[in-house]
């Protein structure tokens, strides 16, 4: 019987589907085991939270697949996996709708000052200063999408339904693909809202820093639901304090799962001290519908590999692996 290791909590229907494929061991909960406990026997890893390093892969002679729960795969050494004959897969598009909707949840939350209004009301202040709660409308404003892949292309029509103009930039495309595509400098200078939809990789780390923010409109809004490392958090914090940025909606941080009161990420991005910052804890894809779609896609990948076939969404091309 195959041994499947699940790193973090998943949808109960997905867990049931995994149980039909083999013995499931959990890295969380009352019966949690560590990866080291099962590394010599594990056949498949269902990876949501945590990391799978080259050393962990090398210590797993029976491992056939690491199935990522989500589109990103920067938390697994997929190149080392390929050399060791281990498939790495992801689930592109499965959480698309959830992330797209979260972009606008953040944008509307900032634009209509929902957090400030809620805090005042909870503190028994019924709009004592209505001017401080004056928001903005999206209609007629320009949304700039940095990254025009699957999610970016699905954010665009929602923005247009709000009456926004859309610009986008992506090195994989040119303006012959879509007339909304422009270069980065043009996008930064014209956008009222800039939303990031790029992976964290060479060339995208700190993609938006002080120099890029300086090119943006004063009072522009920044949205990031991609990866924390693609923005320079120190530069964003300073721009929020100075008013260069009117607000920021952030779902991903360079240093996650930390004390939200103490400044973090090189002591430059204290959440509690930035009232024009709206932060959510990496939950853009966290809807019941999305968790089920993403999870079942990962289950299908594991099932295919355990049956001896290739998975549907590989991110590497492993050398053939010989089992004893």
The full DSSP string for 224-238 is E-S-GGGB-HHHHHH
3-class secondary-structure state, position 68: strand
Instruction: Give residue 149's Cα distance to chain centre.
Output: 14
E strand intervals along 40-120: 44-47, 65-68, 87-89
Which of the following is catalytic: 55, 137, 160, 256?
256
State yes or no: is 137 an active-site residue.
Answer: no
Contact 146, 198 (CB under 8 A): yes
State yes or no: is 256 an active-site residue.
Answer: yes
Which of the following is catalytic: 197, 227, 293, 313?
227
- In this structure, what DSSP letter does residue 66 have? E
As a whole number of angstroms, the distance between CA 101 and CA 114 comes to 16
Q: Which residues of 171-200 are buried (b: 16+ CB within 10 A; e: fewer)?
A: eeeeeeeeebbbebeebbeebbbbbbbbeb
Contact 98, 285 (CB under 8 A): yes
State yes or no: is 69 an active-site residue.
Answer: no
Which of the following is catalytic: 112, 205, 282, 300?
282
- Which of 90, 207, 193, 82 has its CA nearest to residue 144? 193
Contact 321, 86 (CB under 8 A): yes
As a whole number of angstroms, the distance between CA 192 and CA 246 comes to 10
- Write out the catalytic residue numbers: 227, 256, 282
């Amino acid at each position: 019987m195959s041994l499947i290791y699940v790193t973090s909590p998943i949808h109960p229907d997905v867990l049931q589907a995994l149980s039909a494929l083999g013995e499931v061991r959990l890295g969380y909960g009352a019966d949690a085991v560590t990866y080291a406990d099962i590394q010599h026997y594990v056949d498949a890893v269902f990876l949501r939270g945590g990391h799978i390093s080259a050393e962990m892969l090398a210590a797993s002679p029976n491992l056939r697949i690491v199935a990522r729960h989500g589109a990103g795969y920067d938390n697994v050494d997929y190149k080392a996996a390929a050399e060791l004959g281990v498939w790495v897969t992801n689930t592109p598009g499965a959480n698309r709708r959830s992330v797209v909707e979260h972009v606008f949840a953040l944008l509307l939350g900032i634009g209509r000052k929902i957090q400030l209004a809620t805090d005042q009301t909870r503190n028994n202040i019924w709009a004592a200063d209505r001017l401080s709660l004056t928001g903005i409308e999206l209609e007629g404003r320009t949304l700039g999408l940095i990254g025009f892949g699957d999610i970016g292309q699905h954010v665009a029509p929602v923005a247009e339904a709000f009456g926004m103009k859309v610009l986008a930039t992506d090195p994989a495309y040119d303006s012959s693909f879509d007339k909304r595509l422009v270069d980065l400098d043009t996008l930064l200078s014209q956008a009222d809202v800039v939303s990031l939809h790029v992976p964290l990789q060479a060339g995208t780390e700190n993609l938006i820093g002080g120099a890029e923010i300086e090119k943006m409109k004063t009072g522009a809004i920044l949205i990031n639901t991609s990866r924390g490392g693609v923005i320079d958090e120190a530069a964003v914090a300073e721009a929020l304090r100075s008013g260069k940025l009117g607000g920021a909606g952030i779902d991903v941080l360079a240093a996650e799962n930390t004390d939200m009161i103490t400044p973090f990420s090189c002591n430059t991005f204290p959440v509690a001290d930035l009232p024009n910052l709206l932060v959510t804890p990496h939950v853009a894809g966290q809807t019941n519908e999305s968790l089920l779609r993403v999870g079942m896609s990962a289950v299908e990948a594991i099932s295919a590999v355990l049956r001896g076939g290739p998975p549907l969404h590989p991110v590497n091309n492993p050398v053939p692996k010989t089992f004893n």
